[in-house]
């Protein structure tokens, strides 16, 4: 059994295929496994909580894991060690989530492209057809992650408390979420995965996307992301398409296309969940 895994900070999708590339069982979903944020004990707990994974753990021969927080060496090795300890018969490959986005969005293996992730967090890389290039190292959700779910969630919470939201939007926001200050601070400073907590608020944007306030907020976030991340590849951006992966990108694609036209870059493919493309990619390699 081969496991192909796509993990963000919020959720993690596991798909099992046999040696012929045929899917064995329904997709398994667990909480996200971000080794930059979660401690080793929590990583073990999330995986072992899944009865489906534990039932077949000795049958797994290969794991191809793509994840948020796996772009630097120490977190990547931590998660690899956890997976090898649980799936004792498996060869384990742990790769950053950007490579998942590359393999799921490009049209052929040797296509050069700029590939962006806009999900709970955000990232951007240049793929030259063979290798991945990143010129800005992520410092995580508190300092970076422009145009991500947690970025937009933070913006809306701030706007709510600073009274910058239009009143009708403000009332709807308070009806949908617990906006008690103590409750918010408890989730931000006392609970695990505060970035995922903030990203939960982003759903509100797409339920109210006709609002001028929401439209402007989305486009401002995309402009900031383009300035800081896409245009770090200022020589490449004129020559190659810019592909996008992740739920925020998928649902904000109209606004992204508007900003792309305004700022002078060409959008390519939009993929909500890279996992389907990863299955196709690894099936071809079997």
- Per-residue pLDDT, 228: 96
Instruction: Label residue 216 exposed, middle or buried (CB < 10 Å: 0-12, 13-18, 19+).
Output: exposed
Q: Give the Cα separation of 213 and 210 in Å (integer).
A: 9
- The pTM for the full model equals 0.80
Averaged confidence pLDDT in the chain? 93
Torsion angle in degrees (nearest 10) through CA of 198, 201, 202, 206: 180
Phi, psi of 268 (to 5 degrees): -115, -120
Torsion angle in degrees (nearest 10) through CA of 188, 193, 195, 197: -70
Contact, 1 vs 60, CB < 8 A?
A: yes
Which one, of 98, 102, 124, lies nearest residue 225 by Cα?
Answer: 124
What residue spans of the chain are helical by DSSP H? 40-48, 51-55, 73-86, 97-105, 149-161, 167-176, 181-189, 194-199, 203-207, 212-228, 247-251, 253-263, 275-285
Condensed to tens digits (0 to 9), the pLDDT of residues 94-149 reads 998 888 889 999 988 899 999 999 998 999 999 999 999 988 888 888 899 999 99
**For the sheet containing 267-271, what is the strand order?**
132-133, 122-127, 113-118, 242-245, 267-271
Condensed to tens digits (0 to 9), the pLDDT of residues 62-80 reads 999 999 889 889 999 999 9
Long-range contacts of the stretch 281-284 (C-beta < 8 A, 24+): 281/103, 281/104, 282/2, 282/4, 282/17, 282/21, 282/64, 283/17, 283/21, 284/21
- Per-residue pLDDT, 241: 97
Q: What is the architecture of the domain spanning 2-100+275-285?
A: 2-Layer Sandwich (3.30)
In the block, residue with structure tokens 């990203």 = 199
Query: Binning pLDDT at 50, 70 and 90, where does residue 279 land?
Result: confident
Condensed to tens digits (0 to 9), the pLDDT of residues 221-261 reads 999 999 999 999 999 999 999 999 999 999 999 999 999 99
Name beta bridge partners: 122. 118
Contact, 247 vs 119, CB < 8 A?
A: yes
Query: Binning pLDDT at 50, 70 and 90, where does residue 29 land?
Result: very high
pLDDT at residue 89 above 70? yes
Q: Give the Cα separation of 78 and 65 in Å (integer).
A: 13
């Amino acid at each position: 059994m081969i496991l192909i895994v796509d993990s963000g900070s919020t959720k993690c999708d596991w798909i099992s295929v046999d040696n012929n590339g045929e899917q064995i069982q329904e997709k398994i979903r667990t909480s996200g496994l971000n080794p930059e944020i979660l401690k080793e004990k929590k990583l073990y707990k999330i995986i072992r909580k899944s009865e489906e994974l534990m039932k077949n753990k000795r049958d797994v021969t290969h794991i191809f894991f793509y994840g948020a927080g796996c772009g630097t060496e120490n977190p990547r090795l931590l998660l690899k060690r956890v997976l090898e300890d649980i799936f004792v018969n498996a060869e384990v490959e742990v790769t950053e989530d950007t490579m998942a986005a590359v393999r799921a969005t490009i049209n052929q293996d040797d296509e050069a492209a700029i590939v962006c992730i806009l999900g709970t967090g955000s990232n951007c890389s240049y793929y030259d057809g063979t290798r991945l290039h990143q010129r800005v190292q992520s410092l995580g959700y508190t300092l970076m992650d422009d145009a991500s779910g947690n970025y937009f969630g933070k913006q809306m919470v701030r706007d709510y408390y600073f009274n910058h939201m239009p009143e009708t939007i403000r009332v709807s926001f308070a009806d949908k979420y617990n906006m008690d200050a103590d409750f918010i601070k408890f989730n931000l400073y006392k609970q695990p995965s505060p970035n995922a907590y903030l990203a939960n608020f982003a759903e509100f944007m797409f339920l109210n996307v006709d609002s001028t306030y929401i439209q402007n907020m989305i486009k401002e976030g995309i402009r900031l992301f383009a300035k800081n991340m896409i245009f770090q590849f200022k020589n490449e951006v004129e020559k190659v398409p810019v592909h996008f992966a992740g739920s925020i990108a998928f649902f904000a694609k109209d606004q992204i296309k508007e900003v792309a036209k305004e700022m002078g870059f060409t959008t390519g493919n939009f993929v909500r969940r890279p996992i389907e493309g990863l299955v196709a990619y690894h099936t071809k390699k079997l």
